Structure 1
Amino acid sequence: MTDLARVQITFTSPSGDRSSGCTEERTATAEVRLPEPLGDRDVIVDNYTRFTADGAKPPALRLCGELGCTPPATGCTTASYEQALMAVNAPDHTYRNSEKCDGKWLVLDFSWRTGPACGGSPDPACSSRLGDRWFFRAKESGWDPIFRTSAGGCQDIQRREPAFPTSLCASLAPLSPSLHPSHPPATTTP
């Protein structure tokens, strides 16, 4: 890929050898000289850690996060909803059931499959799922989770965050208890 500069860093350490006296870790700096100017390219170190010059003070690079070097702006977009799922540590293979969003506030219902792998079986356990409803506020860094509940309407969220708009929560039906066999009725984030 021409938009990347790939770097492989290899180091050796006697830290596994207790008799060497080197038994602790410390941070070190590695200087890398590229055969040509970096330009607009990002740097990939050891095939998985990405750095970018965008937003960094030269000659330094900025470490990119799980959402890449330029995370999606908070808004009513699929990429933004994916960021919200990451913010609440949603399980892998989670899918969104519905979203209500105005760009400043978000309600996100999501579920994930549970039970045995059934391969098309009509067994109800094969389609069982768990789910959550989270409420978020937009921050510069992305969606900030503020509350989780399975209740419908606005009462719970507006008790926690009075500014949450009624237009986004008034029509919310309670999440089905069958989807939440082990979930408490409401919890808050720290």
Structure 2
Amino acid sequence: MAVVAVLCALAVLLLGGCGTRVAGATNGTNGTNGATPTGPVPWTTMEPSAVTAAQLAADQRTLTLTARVPHGKHPCVRALKAALAAAEQNTFWVQITYSSPSGDRRSGCTGEATASTRIVLPEPLGDQKLIVDHDTQFTTDGAKLPALRLCGELGCHPPATSCTVSSYEQAMIAADAPEHSYRDAEHCDGKWLVIDFSWRTGPVCGDTTATPSGCASRLGDRVFFRAEPAGWKTITSSSAGGCTAVRRAEPEFPKALCATLPPLATSLHPSYPPSSTDK
């Protein structure tokens, strides 16, 4: 609860420095009814769009954090800094902020570049967690120091690739499956995996006036995976039956897992990479 309170308080401070959106502003301008704004370009407090790397110095306390920030022909970033938001529950929570005029397109800060800032932790990082900007997590476990290891969506220690439900869920995330998708079938041997999944589409599910019902209409796709140390890695996707598509992308994929696959009726999911058999 203490961590939540600290982060909420920090969010209030950040939002307080972000200015007020003018009612009726459109097309990314700060004017009314889409008009081009006039006057000085305002600088507001922001967070990076992404935190991409962290390095730990020899003292085990000094961190260099790299993030993506606005970029343009003129200065786009001031006061880039990292601050410790909380240190508890075996976790350091760090927040990166800066001031930028990029909220107003007149500033010309429409691109992005990387920039770094440093912070000294109150004690050595050791095996404690490092979370930057709410949800970007780094760890020394398995890292090639001085660089820390950037953890994925499933945390720093995702489920091992296997023929289990938790492992299939990791594969669905790797495949960027649409929200609320559900698995129809899995074919797995521990090293290779095929998942057929589908998702509802059409009108809102539960709308009894819609024809057809959103609960009845569905689309599906089939994705092939290879096991890697970080988890399941997508090879390709295909709505065609058999092994042609996947073995074109990965000749070692075992025929035992794909030879009897029937073709799917429909597929809107992008291929990894696109397969000519899906055209």
Q: State the match for 1:55 in structure 2.
A: 142
Q: State the match for 1:167 in structure 2.
A: 256
Q: State the match for 1:99 in structure 2.
A: 186
Q: State the match for 1:81 in structure 2.
A: 168
Q: State the match for 2:241 in structure 1.
A: 152
Q: Does 1:70 align with 2:157?
A: yes
Between the two structures, name the one with larger relative contact order (CA 8 Å, sep ≥ 6). Answer: 1
Distance 2:132 2:91 in 1: 10
Mapping of residues 126-141 of structure 1, within 5 Å: 126=214, 127-141=216-230
Q: What SS does structure 2 have at the residue aligned with 1:167?
A: helix
Between 120-129 and 93-102, the greater mean CA deviation after superposition:
120-129
Distance 1:9 1:60 in 2: 18
User: Kindly tell me: are residues 8 and 134 of structure 1, through their superposed partners in 2, closer, same or farther at Cα, counting changes over 3 Å?
Assistant: closer
Distance 1:189 1:10 in 2: 37
RMSD, aligned α-carbons:
3.6
Distance 1:124 1:24 in 2: 44
Instruction: Return the letter of the residue paired with 1:173.
Output: P
Alignment TM-score, normalising by the size of structure 1: 0.74
Q: State the match for 1:189 in structure 2.
A: 273
Distance 2:154 2:228 in 1: 16
Q: Is the 8 A contact 2:170 2:231 kept in 1?
A: yes
CA apart distance, 1:14: 6.0
Instruction: Return the letter of the residue paired with 1:125.
Output: S
Unaligned 5+ segments in structure 1 are none
Distance 1:145 1:165 in 2: 15
CA apart distance, 1:99: 0.5
Q: State the match for 2:213 in structure 1.
A: 125
Unaligned 5+ segments in structure 2 are 1-87, 275-279
Number of residue pairs the alignment of both structures matches = 184
Instruction: Return the letter of the residue paired with 1:189.
Output: P
Mapping of residues 9-20 of structure 1, within 5 Å: 9-13=96-100
Between 66-75 and 13-22, the greater mean CA deviation after superposition:
13-22
